[in-house]
């Protein structure tokens, strides 16, 4: 689902490596987070996300004074992109909370055609027949597997639609922010996580009992899992940035 000129900026081999990194890190973050939730009973997903986003921002900012990353400009476009990133996370969490897992997966799946539709309306980008056929096979196949678990509720449907729409816009906007500001991958990561972290904290303040979060007693095992999850989340985030910009938002969503 990518065009060759854009892919060549990273290189086919490099892009393949980032796709593999995305898959492996996505699986790893789920496994580590589940252990943190169910074994160590840290049950606050948005607060955990604040720690993940904040650690990514901290890593990116460390490279600025060292001269490895040029400090990016925070303009209106990047602020909008970062805000959409935080809202995307909030609505995805809400969709998971108010929907059955199967319904949640279906709404996530719908992000693929929504991205294609927005891309067509916004930029006039069209997919080839082969790409459309492959896309249809993915959507229908995944939908067939999960359709038996779909259960629609009003609030869940609303949250699912919002999650799908905002996530699609977020990923398309990330591509636009990077291209128009001529950011490299670390600058994009720095901008997005710096903006998203405080916004996610505000969301956590309204949706989770922060007094309980702050009172949580960190055992060595829990702390080790937290640190490991932050490291893995960095690879999740950086691979997303690279794939979205070197290939396309659609490619990342399919991956």
Q: Is the pTM of this model over 0.85?
A: no
pLDDT tens-digit readout, 138-147: 667 666 655 6
Residues whose CB is less than 8 angstroms from the CB of residue 240 and which lie 6 or more positions away in sequence, other chains included: 22, 252
> What does the pLDDT read at residue 215?
92
pLDDT tens, position by position, 165-205: 998 898 888 888 888 888 888 899 999 999 999 999 998 89
State whether residue 209 is helix, strand or coil. coil
What number of other Cβ atoms are within 10 A of residue 65's Cβ? Answer: 9
Query: How many whole angstroms separate alpha carbon 141 and alpha carbon 254?
Result: 12
Go through the chain and tell me how many residues it has.
255
Q: d(Cα 183, Cα 69) in Å, to the nearest integer? A: 10
Parts of the chain with a pLDDT under 50: 2-8
- Which H/E stretch holds residue 238? helix 220-246
User: What is the spatial distance between Cα 66 and Cα 61, in angstroms, rounded to a whole number?
Assistant: 9
The span from the CA of 255 to the CA of 249, in Å, is 10
Quote the pLDDT of residue 149: 62
**What's the pLDDT score for residue 9?**
54
Helices then strands, counting H and E runs in the chain, come out as 11, 0
Q: Return the CA Rg of the chain.
A: 18
CA–CA separation, 195 and 202 (whole Å)? 12
pLDDT at residue 146, as a whole number: 59
Sequence spans of domains, the chain: 4-254
**Tell me, what's the pLDDT at 145?**
59
Q: Are 219 and 40 in contact (CB under 8 A)?
A: yes
pLDDT for the residue 26: 85
Torsion over CA: 23, 184, 63, 50 (sign): negative
Residue 92, both tokens: 């995805």
Residue 135 to residue 133: CA distance in whole angstroms: 5
Check residue 231 and give its pLDDT.
94
Q: In the prediction, which pLDDT does 56 show? A: 92
Return the DSSP state at 216.
Answer: -
């Amino acid at each position: 689902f990518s065009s060759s000129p854009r892919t060549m900026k990273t290189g086919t081999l490099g892009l393949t490596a980032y796709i593999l990194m995305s898959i492996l890190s996505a699986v790893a973050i789920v496994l580590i987070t589940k252990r943190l939730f169910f074994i160590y009973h840290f049950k606050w997903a948005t607060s955990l996300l604040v720690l993940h986003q904040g650690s990514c921002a901290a890593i990116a900012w460390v490279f600025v004074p060292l001269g490895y990353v040029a400090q990016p400009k925070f303009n209106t476009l990047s602020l909008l992109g970062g805000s959409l990133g935080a809202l995307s996370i909030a609505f995805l969490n809400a969709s998971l909370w108010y929907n059955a897992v199967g319904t949640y997966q279906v709404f996530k799946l719908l992000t693929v055609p929504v991205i294609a539709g927005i891309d067509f309306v916004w930029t006039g980008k069209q997919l080839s027949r082969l790409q459309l056929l492959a896309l249809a096979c993915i959507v229908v196949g995944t939908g067939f597997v999960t359709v038996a678990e779909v259960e629609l509720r009003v609030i869940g449907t609303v949250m699912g639609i919002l999650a799908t729409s905002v996530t699609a816009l977020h990923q398309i906007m990330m591509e636009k922010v990077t291209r128009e500001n001529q950011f490299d991958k670390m600058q994009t990561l720095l901008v997005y996580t710096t903006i998203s972290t405080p916004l996610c904290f505000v969301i956590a303040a309204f949706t989770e009992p922060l007094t309980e979060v702050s009172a949580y007693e960190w055992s060595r095992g829990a702390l080790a899992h937290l640190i490991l999850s932050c490291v893995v989340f960095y690879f999740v985030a950086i691979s997303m940035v690279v794939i979205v910009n070197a290939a396309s938002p659609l490619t990342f969503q399919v991956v």
